[in-house]
Every structure is written in C-alpha cells, then in structure tokens.
C-alpha cells in the first residue's frame, strides 16, 4: 500500500498507545516515531525512486521480509537491557506492531505482495489478485492502481484516520 496508508495506520496505533497512557501525550514525538516505524520497511523505495512501483526487490527484499525486522527488534531488545531507557520497550512495541501492520497492508498488493516466510521461502502472498500485466514503470502502476478497488479502501482508511484524529484534537 501507499505511504499515506502506512502513515495513517501508524497514527492510529500510536493514538491507541497514547490513549492507554503507555506513551506520553504531552509531545508529538510518539506520533512522529509511529509514522516513521509504520513506513520503515519502505526504505528500499528510497534507493529505487525510479522503480518505486517495484521497490521491494531493491534491497533484495531484505526490508520486506518480516522475519528480518523481528530478528533486529529482538537483538535491539536484548542490547538495550542494561541501559534502562525510559519508554524504550514501549517504543520497541510500537515499532513491532507498526512494522507487522505494514506487512499486513502490503499484502493488499496489486503487484506481487509479501514473502511472509522470506528469506527462506521467497513466494510472495497477496490478499488480492495480481494485475493482469506486470507494470513496466511507475506511471503504468499508478494507472492500474487508480482503477483498482484497493484505492477506495485506502481512501476510506485516510478518512477514518482523519476523523479519529480530529475528534481527538478538536
Ligand atoms: Zn512496503
């Protein structure tokens, strides 16, 4: 899914954490970090801006194999043990939930999907059917995306997020 949808889910999850008092509500830092965590697997898009429609393969899928992130988070959790950093494990929890949801959203893919069992099994899964043709550039991908119902699902997600946040802040 698109960056905006990942950001929307990041905001909703962060609000859930903040509302429960797990993270401070006096600063916007949790929200900034929540949005960053929700988008972090897409760092492969930064190194392949010209082929952003096919960015999962940019880093040999490394940032789009769920297992890689959970291994990294596990290591970070152990390494941070001696330091007693305030809110560290809550932020790590926020990162874990947001990255997991990133992969759920990316499984709604009109093009390839997510290799949930990678790097061991490279087969990619999608909840929806693949495009009838493989797009050859980003323009073509956008063309197909604009015609697909998944776009309306994303727009609905943006509207719900906006309503939830406005209700919170107004
Ligand atoms: Zn992604």
Tens of pLDDT along 21-37?
A: 999 999 999 999 999 99
**What is the structure's pLDDT at 160?**
96
Q: With bands split at pLDDT 50, 70 and 90, how would you rate the model's confidence at 52? A: low
Centre of ligand 1 from the C-alpha of residue 82, in Å:
33
Centre of ligand 1 from the C-alpha of residue 32, in Å:
18
**pLDDT tens digit string along 104-152?**
999 998 878 899 998 999 999 999 887 777 777 778 888 888 888 899 9
Q: How far apart are CA 86 and CA 89, in angstroms?
A: 8
Centre of ligand 1 from the C-alpha of residue 170, in Å:
32
Asked if residue 17 has pLDDT above 70, the reply is yes
- Structural domain harbouring 95: 3-169
Centre of ligand 1 from the C-alpha of residue 26, in Å:
30
Spatial contact of 163 and 10, defined as CB atoms under 8 Å apart: no
The Cα angle at residue 33 between residues 30 and 34, in degrees rounded to 5? 80
**What is the structure's pLDDT at 12?**
96
Spatial contact of 2 and 52, defined as CB atoms under 8 Å apart: no
| Closest C-alpha to 71, from 119, 9, 126, 23 | 119
Task: Please list, residue by residue across 90-112, b when 16 or more beta carbons sit within 10 angstroms of its beta carbon and e when fewer do.
Answer: ebbbbbbbbbebbbebbbbbbbb
Spatial contact of 55 and 107, defined as CB atoms under 8 Å apart: no
Residue 111 or 159, more confident:
159
**What is the structure's pLDDT at 163?**
94
Task: Determine the distance from the C-alpha atom of residue 142 to the mean position of all C-alpha atoms in its chain, rounded to a whole number.
Answer: 19
Q: Which two tokens stand for residue 143?
A: 């063309």
Q: With bands split at pLDDT 50, 70 and 90, how would you rate the model's confidence at 46? A: confident
Centre of ligand 1 from the C-alpha of residue 58, in Å:
12
Contacts of 126 (CB under 8 A, 6+ apart): 107, 108, 109, 110, 112, 113, 114
Asked if residue 51 has pLDDT above 70, the reply is no
SS3 at position 30: helix
Centre of ligand 1 from the C-alpha of residue 103, in Å:
7
**What is the structure's pLDDT at 3?**
92
Residue 120 main-chain phi, psi, to 5 deg: -80, -45
**pLDDT tens digit string along 54-102?**
666 666 688 999 999 999 999 999 999 999 999 999 999 999 999 999 9
Structural domain tally of the chain?
Answer: 1
**What is the structure's pLDDT at 22?**
96
For the beta carbon of residue 17, count every other beta carbon within 10 angstroms: 22
Q: With bands split at pLDDT 50, 70 and 90, how would you rate the model's confidence at 7? A: very high
**What is the structure's pLDDT at 55?**
67
């Amino acid at each position: 899914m698109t960056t905006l949808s990942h950001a929307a889910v990041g905001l909703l999850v962060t609000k859930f954490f903040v509302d429960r008092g797990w993270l401070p509500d006096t600063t916007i830092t949790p929200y900034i970090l929540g949005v960053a965590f929700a988008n972090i697997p897409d760092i492969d898009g930064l190194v392949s801006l010209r082929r952003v429609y096919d960015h999962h393969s940019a880093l040999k899928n490394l940032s789009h194999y769920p297992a890689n992130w959970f291994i990294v988070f596990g290591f970070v959790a152990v390494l941070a043990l001696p330091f007693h950093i305030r809110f560290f494990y809550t932020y790590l929890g926020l990162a874990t939930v947001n990255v997991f949801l990133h992969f759920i959203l990316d499984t709604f893919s009109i093009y390839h999907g997510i290799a949930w069992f990678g790097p061991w099994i490279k087969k990619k899964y999608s909840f929806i059917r693949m495009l009838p043709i493989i797009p050859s550039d980003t323009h073509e991908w956008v063309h197909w995306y604009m015609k697909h119902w998944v776009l309306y699902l994303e727009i609905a997600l943006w509207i719900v997020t906006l309503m939830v946040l406005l209700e919170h802040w107004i």
